[in-house]
Structure 1
Amino acid sequence: MCTGKCAKFIGKLLFPLGICAITANLLLYFPNGRILEVEQITDFVWFFQGIVGAGLLVFLPAFMMLSAGGDGCCANRCGMLLTVILSALGTIGGVYCMVMSAMGLVHGPLCDTGNGEYIYPFRNNTEENNYLFHHETWSTCKEPENVVLWNVVLFSILIGIGAIEAILCLIQVINGIIGVICGTCLRKRKISVSRPR
């Protein structure tokens, strides 16, 4: 597969992943489908890891990848060089999404434990007592209903999407470097064979 086609393929994969990341991040603002006050939403949602990190920062290289396989030797190499730079940015965005989502997952959600006050009931847990491994503690959060499951699923999705995007962008960095050095496609050369008379 030539480097231009590979870039286009990766670019096409990144678009649905970015849309899924933005959607997952937006859903975190509405725990269990409810609209809450700003101060009642988990703090790790406000880092916009799905919207900016796995979304916008990945769309930039994806757009460039789709146009990198065009005609013209110079345009192809310049385009591939831009995909290398933008893919490095996309890798950073994917890693940022992974790290912030993992922190949100580990620290747990903001919720009402039954006294009307929103707190982080799982923040000071040790590794042995982490709420992720003790499902029976999830009932500590009374409001919003199912907020723990909501956060666990959506943050896990963001971690997975961020990891896939980071890997794809790293592959494009390598593919782009090859494209800059060798061009976007190996053209078949016609070899004329002369027959003896």
Structure 2
Amino acid sequence: MCSGSCAKCLGITLIPLAILCLLCNIMLFFPGGYVADNNEHISDEVWYMGGIIGSGALMIFPALVFLGLKNNDCCGCCGNESCGKRFAMFTSIIFAAIGVLGAGYSIVVSCVAINRGPLCQQLDNTWGYPLVGGEYVTNHTSWDLCVAPERVVPWHVTLFCMILVMSLVQVALCAFQAINGLIGTICGDCCGCCGSDDSA
């Protein structure tokens, strides 16, 4: 497969992942699926917006660049047959690095959020983080320490885990494109569109 075609496939995969991460983060602003009665009752990590900024907005740029690589003019650099394509592939490495940084930020935020647990109303009617440590993920009886909002613990864990998994996939795809871009920079695009144009 040509390096440009491979990049296009990666871009097509990254866009829905970015949208899903963005939606998951937006849903976290509604603890347990309810509208929060006070913004201070929303977990701090939700406000860090890892899914919106990191795996969402910052991932759209690499995805769009990867999508456009297939259609780049491979003869557009000083008359050199593959210079334009090589430069485009080199640029994709930079955007892949941006994607890794964005998804990496989202991974860190998600891990901290899962480890800390959700902000909720505790048994003494105060608001806090009674599930700090991460053991609560498998110990469902500890979920009773959160009185309200209803179902806030599974809501918190599920959405942050989804963001975490999708961000890990994004890192893998961007890392793959960095390697693909390096190969494209060194070897050019195997499709050889310049040669086909000359023969026409």
Q: Number of aligned residue pairs: give it.
A: 186
1:1-197 equivalences in 2 (<5 Å): 1-36=1-36, 37-70=38-71, 71-72=73-74, 73-123=82-132, 125=133, 130-187=135-192
Cα separation, 2, equivalents of 1:139 and 1:10: 42
Moved beyond 6 Å, runs of 4+: none
> How far did residue 186 of structure 1 move?
3.9
**1:102-147 CA deviation, whole Å, 9 max, x = no partner?**
1100110000024432111112x4x7xx211211110211110000
What are structure 2's unaligned runs of at least 5 residues?
Answer: 75-81
Contact 1:67–1:79 (8 Å) recurs in 2: no
> How far did residue 184 of structure 1 move?
2.0
| Largest Rg, 1 or 2 | 1
Amino acid at match of 2:65: M
Contact 1:114–1:143 (8 Å) recurs in 2: no
SS of the counterpart of 1:116? coil
CA RMSD of aligned residues (A): 1.7
> How far did residue 28 of structure 1 move?
0.5
Contact 1:65–1:83 (8 Å) recurs in 2: yes
Amino acid at match of 2:27: L
Residue matched to 1:193: none
Contact 1:42–1:109 (8 Å) recurs in 2: yes
Contact 2:89–2:182 (8 Å) recurs in 1: yes
| Identity score, percent | 38
Contact 1:52–1:93 (8 Å) recurs in 2: yes
TM-score, normalised to structure 1, is 0.89
What are structure 1's unaligned runs of at least 5 residues?
Answer: 191-197
